A and B are shown apart, each in its own frame.
Chain A
Protein backbone atom coordinates (compact mmCIF):
# COMPACT_ATOMS: atom_id res chain seq x y z
CA UNK A 1 0.00 0.00 0.00
CA UNK A 2 2.77 2.38 0.99
CA UNK A 3 4.53 1.54 -2.22
CA UNK A 4 1.44 2.30 -4.27
CA UNK A 5 0.91 5.64 -2.58
CA UNK A 6 4.57 6.50 -3.07
CA UNK A 7 4.32 5.50 -6.72
CA UNK A 8 1.21 7.66 -7.17
CA UNK A 9 2.98 10.65 -5.65
CA UNK A 10 6.02 10.04 -7.80
CA UNK A 11 4.07 9.75 -11.03
CA UNK A 12 1.77 12.69 -10.39
CA UNK A 13 4.69 14.86 -9.33
CA UNK A 14 6.60 13.86 -12.41
CA UNK A 15 3.63 14.63 -14.64
CA UNK A 16 3.16 18.03 -13.07
CA UNK A 17 6.82 18.87 -13.45
CA UNK A 18 6.75 17.65 -17.05
CA UNK A 19 3.74 19.83 -17.79
CA UNK A 20 5.39 22.88 -16.25
CA UNK A 21 8.69 22.17 -17.97
CA UNK A 22 6.97 21.58 -21.28
CA UNK A 23 5.05 24.82 -20.98
CA UNK A 24 8.21 26.75 -20.24
CA UNK A 25 10.02 25.01 -23.08
CA UNK A 26 7.27 25.88 -25.55
CA UNK A 27 7.38 29.47 -24.34
CA UNK A 28 11.14 29.65 -24.81
CA UNK A 29 10.89 28.13 -28.28
CA UNK A 30 8.18 30.59 -29.28
CA UNK A 31 10.17 33.49 -27.83
CA UNK A 32 13.19 32.42 -29.90
CA UNK A 33 11.01 32.19 -32.97
CA UNK A 34 9.56 35.63 -32.28
CA UNK A 35 13.05 37.06 -31.93
CA UNK A 36 14.08 35.57 -35.26
CA UNK A 37 10.98 37.00 -36.89
CA UNK A 38 11.71 40.36 -35.30
CA UNK A 39 15.28 40.39 -36.57
CA UNK A 40 14.11 39.48 -40.06
CA UNK A 41 11.43 42.13 -39.94
CA UNK A 42 13.94 44.71 -38.77
CA UNK A 43 16.18 43.96 -41.73
CA UNK A 44 13.21 44.11 -44.04
CA UNK A 45 12.17 47.39 -42.46
CA UNK A 46 15.50 48.95 -43.35
CA UNK A 47 15.07 47.93 -46.97
CA UNK A 48 11.51 49.21 -47.13
CA UNK A 49 12.49 52.48 -45.51
CA UNK A 50 15.23 53.02 -48.05
CA UNK A 51 12.87 52.15 -50.87
CA UNK A 52 10.25 54.55 -49.59
CA UNK A 53 12.72 57.35 -49.17
CA UNK A 54 13.71 56.93 -52.79
CA UNK A 55 10.13 56.66 -53.99
CA UNK A 56 8.88 59.51 -51.78
CA UNK A 57 6.05 57.54 -50.39
CA UNK A 58 4.90 56.19 -47.08
CA UNK A 59 2.92 53.17 -46.12
CA UNK A 60 -0.23 52.86 -44.17
CA UNK A 61 -0.04 50.30 -41.44
CA UNK A 62 -2.57 47.69 -40.70
CA UNK A 63 -3.19 46.35 -37.23
CA UNK A 64 -0.74 43.57 -36.34
CA UNK A 65 -2.02 40.04 -36.39
CA UNK A 66 -2.29 38.02 -33.21
CA UNK A 67 0.92 36.29 -32.26
CA UNK A 68 3.10 38.50 -34.44
CA UNK A 69 6.11 40.24 -32.92
CA UNK A 70 5.26 43.93 -32.70
CA UNK A 71 7.95 45.52 -30.56
CA UNK A 72 11.09 45.03 -28.58
CA UNK A 73 11.20 45.92 -24.90
CA UNK A 74 14.46 46.57 -23.09
CA UNK A 75 14.84 47.44 -19.42
CA UNK A 76 18.55 47.69 -18.65
CA UNK A 77 18.16 47.74 -14.88
CA UNK A 78 16.73 44.23 -14.71
CA UNK A 79 18.49 42.90 -17.83
CA UNK A 80 15.20 42.47 -19.62
CA UNK A 81 15.31 42.22 -23.40
CA UNK A 82 12.17 40.68 -24.84
CA UNK A 83 10.20 40.66 -28.06
CA UNK A 84 6.64 41.82 -27.48
CA UNK A 85 3.97 39.70 -29.15
CA UNK A 86 0.55 40.86 -30.24
CA UNK A 87 -2.12 39.57 -27.88
CA UNK A 88 -2.46 38.82 -24.20
CA UNK A 89 -3.91 35.34 -24.30
CA UNK A 90 -2.25 32.36 -22.69
CA UNK A 91 -0.15 31.37 -25.68
CA UNK A 92 1.08 34.88 -26.38
CA UNK A 93 2.01 35.52 -22.75
CA UNK A 94 3.71 32.16 -22.59
CA UNK A 95 6.04 33.25 -25.38
CA UNK A 96 6.75 36.77 -24.24
CA UNK A 97 5.30 40.05 -23.09
CA UNK A 98 2.00 40.69 -24.86
CA UNK A 99 0.76 43.87 -26.45
CA UNK A 100 -2.88 44.54 -25.57
CA UNK A 101 -4.90 44.66 -28.82
CA UNK A 102 -6.64 47.99 -29.18
CA UNK A 103 -3.88 49.90 -27.49
CA UNK A 104 -1.36 51.77 -29.61
CA UNK A 105 2.14 50.59 -30.27
CA UNK A 106 4.92 52.02 -28.08
CA UNK A 107 5.86 55.39 -29.51
CA UNK A 108 2.48 56.22 -31.00
CA UNK A 109 0.41 58.88 -29.31
CA UNK A 110 -1.88 57.14 -26.85
CA UNK A 111 -1.48 54.43 -24.26
CA UNK A 112 0.61 51.44 -25.27
CA UNK A 113 -0.04 48.54 -22.92
CA UNK A 114 2.29 45.61 -22.51
CA UNK A 115 1.66 42.77 -20.07
CA UNK A 116 3.61 39.71 -19.02
CA UNK A 117 3.70 36.97 -16.44
CA UNK A 118 5.38 37.74 -13.16
CA UNK A 119 7.04 34.33 -13.05
CA UNK A 120 8.85 34.80 -16.32
CA UNK A 121 9.48 37.94 -18.35
CA UNK A 122 8.50 40.44 -15.68
CA UNK A 123 9.84 38.41 -12.78
CA UNK A 124 12.08 41.23 -11.57
CA UNK A 125 9.56 44.02 -11.80
CA UNK A 126 9.65 44.38 -8.05
CA UNK A 127 13.14 45.85 -8.49
CA UNK A 128 11.94 48.70 -10.69
CA UNK A 129 11.59 52.19 -9.30
CA UNK A 130 10.27 55.51 -10.51
CA UNK A 131 12.96 57.09 -12.67
CA UNK A 132 14.22 53.87 -14.20
CA UNK A 133 14.72 53.77 -17.95
CA UNK A 134 12.76 51.68 -20.42
CA UNK A 135 13.61 51.38 -24.12
CA UNK A 136 11.27 50.26 -26.87
CA UNK A 137 11.54 49.62 -30.56
CA UNK A 138 8.50 49.26 -32.73
CA UNK A 139 7.15 50.32 -36.10
CA UNK A 140 6.66 53.74 -34.55
CA UNK A 141 10.37 54.09 -33.90
CA UNK A 142 12.79 53.65 -31.05
CA UNK A 143 11.83 55.36 -27.85
CA UNK A 144 13.40 56.04 -24.49
CA UNK A 145 11.01 56.13 -21.56
CA UNK A 146 11.26 56.89 -17.89
CA UNK A 147 9.03 55.28 -15.29
CA UNK A 148 6.85 57.92 -13.69
CA UNK A 149 4.54 55.86 -11.51
CA UNK A 150 3.93 52.45 -10.03
CA UNK A 151 0.69 51.35 -8.44
CA UNK A 152 -0.91 48.15 -7.28
CA UNK A 153 -4.59 47.58 -7.96
CA UNK A 154 -7.00 44.77 -7.38
CA UNK A 155 -7.23 42.40 -10.32
CA UNK A 156 -10.84 43.45 -10.99
CA UNK A 157 -10.29 47.17 -10.55
CA UNK A 158 -10.23 49.55 -13.51
CA UNK A 159 -6.57 49.92 -14.28
CA UNK A 160 -6.11 50.92 -17.91
CA UNK A 161 -7.11 54.19 -19.47
CA UNK A 162 -6.74 55.79 -22.85
CA UNK A 163 -4.41 58.76 -22.83
CA UNK A 164 -4.03 61.73 -25.11
CA UNK A 165 -0.28 61.84 -24.75
CA UNK A 166 2.25 59.15 -25.49
CA UNK A 167 2.31 56.66 -22.63
CA UNK A 168 3.71 53.21 -21.99
CA UNK A 169 1.94 51.02 -19.45
CA UNK A 170 3.46 47.76 -18.25
CA UNK A 171 1.36 45.38 -16.20
CA UNK A 172 1.97 42.14 -14.41
CA UNK A 173 0.59 40.23 -11.46
CA UNK A 174 1.25 41.23 -7.91
CA UNK A 175 2.73 40.14 -5.55
CA UNK A 176 5.60 38.96 -7.69
CA UNK A 177 6.47 36.13 -5.29
CA UNK A 178 3.11 34.48 -4.88
CA UNK A 179 2.02 30.90 -5.27
CA UNK A 180 -1.24 30.54 -7.14
CA UNK A 181 -3.35 33.08 -8.92
CA UNK A 182 -2.14 36.49 -7.81
CA UNK A 183 -4.95 38.74 -6.54
CA UNK A 184 -3.51 42.08 -7.61
CA UNK A 185 -1.89 43.79 -10.57
CA UNK A 186 1.19 45.97 -10.73
CA UNK A 187 0.72 48.90 -13.11
CA UNK A 188 3.92 50.66 -14.20
CA UNK A 189 3.54 53.84 -16.21
CA UNK A 190 6.32 55.40 -18.26
CA UNK A 191 6.55 58.59 -20.26
CA UNK A 192 8.78 59.22 -23.27
CA UNK A 193 11.91 61.25 -22.86
CA UNK A 194 13.09 61.06 -26.43
CA UNK A 195 13.44 59.15 -29.61
CA UNK A 196 16.47 57.02 -30.28
CA UNK A 197 18.19 56.99 -33.62
CA UNK A 198 20.55 54.10 -33.11
CA UNK A 199 19.60 50.47 -32.80
CA UNK A 200 18.87 49.22 -29.30
CA UNK A 201 21.73 47.42 -27.67
CA UNK A 202 21.00 44.20 -25.91
CA UNK A 203 20.40 44.55 -22.20
CA UNK A 204 22.02 41.20 -21.51
Chain B
Protein backbone atom coordinates (compact mmCIF):
# COMPACT_ATOMS: atom_id res chain seq x y z
CA UNK B 1 0.00 0.00 0.00
CA UNK B 2 2.68 2.50 0.89
CA UNK B 3 4.40 1.44 -2.30
CA UNK B 4 1.32 2.37 -4.31
CA UNK B 5 1.08 5.76 -2.64
CA UNK B 6 4.73 6.40 -3.29
CA UNK B 7 4.35 5.46 -6.96
CA UNK B 8 1.27 7.63 -7.25
CA UNK B 9 3.04 10.66 -5.75
CA UNK B 10 6.02 10.08 -7.95
CA UNK B 11 3.85 9.94 -11.10
CA UNK B 12 1.92 13.05 -10.11
CA UNK B 13 5.06 14.98 -9.34
CA UNK B 14 6.79 13.84 -12.53
CA UNK B 15 3.88 14.56 -14.80
CA UNK B 16 3.16 17.90 -13.19
CA UNK B 17 6.77 19.00 -13.41
CA UNK B 18 6.92 17.87 -17.02
CA UNK B 19 3.67 19.63 -17.73
CA UNK B 20 4.85 22.75 -15.95
CA UNK B 21 8.02 22.71 -17.95
CA UNK B 22 6.03 22.36 -21.10
CA UNK B 23 3.71 25.19 -20.20
CA UNK B 24 6.44 27.58 -19.06
CA UNK B 25 8.37 27.21 -22.31
CA UNK B 26 5.27 27.32 -24.42
CA UNK B 27 5.21 30.16 -26.96
CA UNK B 28 1.81 30.63 -28.42
CA UNK B 29 1.85 30.63 -32.25
CA UNK B 30 1.24 34.01 -33.84
CA UNK B 31 -1.68 34.39 -36.10
CA UNK B 32 -1.11 34.86 -39.82
CA UNK B 33 -3.17 38.03 -39.82
CA UNK B 34 -0.92 39.70 -37.24
CA UNK B 35 2.14 38.75 -39.26
CA UNK B 36 0.85 40.21 -42.48
CA UNK B 37 -0.08 43.50 -40.78
CA UNK B 38 3.36 43.87 -39.22
CA UNK B 39 5.03 43.06 -42.51
CA UNK B 40 2.91 45.55 -44.36
CA UNK B 41 3.57 48.29 -41.83
CA UNK B 42 7.29 47.61 -41.91
CA UNK B 43 7.39 47.61 -45.68
CA UNK B 44 5.46 50.83 -45.81
CA UNK B 45 7.77 52.51 -43.31
CA UNK B 46 10.85 51.35 -45.19
CA UNK B 47 9.39 52.53 -48.47
CA UNK B 48 8.49 55.90 -47.00
CA UNK B 49 11.94 56.28 -45.54
CA UNK B 50 13.58 55.38 -48.82
CA UNK B 51 11.42 57.72 -50.85
CA UNK B 52 11.98 60.61 -48.46
CA UNK B 53 15.68 59.98 -48.58
CA UNK B 54 15.59 59.82 -52.36
CA UNK B 55 13.63 63.04 -52.60
CA UNK B 56 15.99 64.79 -50.24
CA UNK B 57 18.99 63.59 -52.20
CA UNK B 58 17.45 64.64 -55.48
CA UNK B 59 16.65 68.09 -54.17
CA UNK B 60 20.11 68.43 -52.75
CA UNK B 61 21.65 67.39 -56.06
CA UNK B 62 19.48 69.88 -57.94
CA UNK B 63 20.42 72.58 -55.51
CA UNK B 64 24.13 71.85 -55.81
CA UNK B 65 23.97 71.60 -59.59
CA UNK B 66 22.04 74.82 -59.78
CA UNK B 67 24.42 76.62 -57.47
CA UNK B 68 27.35 75.35 -59.47
CA UNK B 69 25.71 76.36 -62.70
CA UNK B 70 25.87 72.83 -64.07
CA UNK B 71 22.22 72.50 -64.85
CA UNK B 72 20.00 75.44 -65.61
CA UNK B 73 16.83 75.39 -63.56
CA UNK B 74 13.75 74.51 -65.55
CA UNK B 75 11.64 77.27 -66.97
CA UNK B 76 8.39 77.08 -65.10
CA UNK B 77 7.24 80.60 -64.47
CA UNK B 78 7.18 83.88 -66.24
CA UNK B 79 9.21 86.67 -64.72
CA UNK B 80 7.96 90.15 -64.14
CA UNK B 81 11.03 91.72 -65.60
CA UNK B 82 12.63 92.18 -68.93
CA UNK B 83 16.16 91.75 -67.76
CA UNK B 84 18.50 89.44 -66.07
CA UNK B 85 18.88 85.75 -66.67
CA UNK B 86 21.79 83.36 -66.80
CA UNK B 87 23.13 83.38 -70.38
CA UNK B 88 22.35 79.77 -71.17
CA UNK B 89 18.79 79.78 -69.94
CA UNK B 90 18.36 83.12 -71.62
CA UNK B 91 19.51 81.69 -74.86
CA UNK B 92 16.88 78.99 -74.67
CA UNK B 93 14.09 81.24 -73.51
CA UNK B 94 15.09 83.94 -75.96
CA UNK B 95 15.03 81.41 -78.75
CA UNK B 96 11.56 80.41 -77.65
CA UNK B 97 10.50 84.02 -77.42
CA UNK B 98 11.82 84.89 -80.84
CA UNK B 99 9.85 82.05 -82.33
CA UNK B 100 6.81 84.23 -82.16
CA UNK B 101 8.66 87.32 -83.36
CA UNK B 102 8.99 88.13 -87.05
CA UNK B 103 12.04 86.35 -88.34
CA UNK B 104 14.77 87.84 -90.43
CA UNK B 105 14.24 87.32 -94.12
CA UNK B 106 17.18 85.98 -96.03
CA UNK B 107 18.49 88.49 -98.49
CA UNK B 108 16.84 91.45 -96.83
CA UNK B 109 18.15 94.89 -97.63
CA UNK B 110 20.16 96.78 -95.08
CA UNK B 111 18.07 99.26 -93.09
CA UNK B 112 17.68 102.74 -94.46
CA UNK B 113 20.40 104.55 -92.60
CA UNK B 114 20.94 107.26 -95.16
CA UNK B 115 20.61 110.69 -93.62
CA UNK B 116 20.31 114.07 -95.32
CA UNK B 117 21.06 116.01 -92.19
CA UNK B 118 24.71 116.71 -93.11
CA UNK B 119 23.55 118.05 -96.47
CA UNK B 120 20.91 120.20 -94.79
CA UNK B 121 23.49 121.48 -92.34
CA UNK B 122 25.83 122.43 -95.17
CA UNK B 123 23.07 124.11 -97.16
CA UNK B 124 21.91 125.96 -94.07
CA UNK B 125 25.40 127.20 -93.30
CA UNK B 126 25.86 128.31 -96.90
CA UNK B 127 22.52 130.10 -96.92
CA UNK B 128 23.32 131.79 -93.65
CA UNK B 129 26.74 132.84 -94.93
CA UNK B 130 25.49 134.13 -98.29
CA UNK B 131 22.62 135.95 -96.61
CA UNK B 132 25.00 137.57 -94.13
CA UNK B 133 27.37 138.67 -96.87
CA UNK B 134 24.55 140.08 -98.98
CA UNK B 135 23.01 141.93 -96.06
CA UNK B 136 26.40 143.26 -95.02
CA UNK B 137 27.14 144.32 -98.61
CA UNK B 138 23.85 146.16 -98.79
CA UNK B 139 24.64 147.96 -95.53
CA UNK B 140 28.17 148.85 -96.65
CA UNK B 141 26.90 150.18 -99.99
CA UNK B 142 24.34 152.29 -98.21
CA UNK B 143 26.99 153.73 -95.91
CA UNK B 144 29.28 154.49 -98.81
CA UNK B 145 26.48 156.15 -100.68
A160 touches B104 (CB 8 A): yes
Among A6, A44, A115, chain B packs the most CB atoms within 10 A around the CB of A6
Task: Identify which of residues 36-61 in chain A touch chain B, using a CB-to-CB cut-off of 8 Å.
Answer: 41-42, 44-49, 52-53, 56-61
What is the CA–CA distance of A182 and B62 in the complex, to the nearest angstrom? 56
Question: From residue A138, how far is it (CB to closest CB) to chain B in Å?
Answer: 9
How many residues on chain B are close to A (CB under 8 Å)?
66
Check B12 for interface membership: any CB of A closer than 8 A. no
Chain A residues near B95: list those with CB within 8 A.
108-109
Check A16 for interface membership: any CB of B closer than 8 A. yes
Check A140 for interface membership: any CB of B closer than 8 A. yes
B82 touches A139 (CB 8 A): yes
Chain B residues near A185: list those with CB within 8 A.
109-110, 113
Check A127 for interface membership: any CB of B closer than 8 A. no
Which residues of B are in contact with A by a Cβ distance under 8 Å?
62-63, 66, 72-87, 89-91, 93-98, 100-135, 137-138
Some 20 contacts from A to B, beta carbons below 8 A apart, are A6-B133, A6-B137, A10-B131, A13-B126, A45-B84, A52-B85, A57-B74, A58-B79, A58-B86, A60-B96, A61-B85, A61-B94, A62-B82, A63-B98, A113-B104, A115-B113, A159-B110, A185-B113, A187-B110, A195-B87
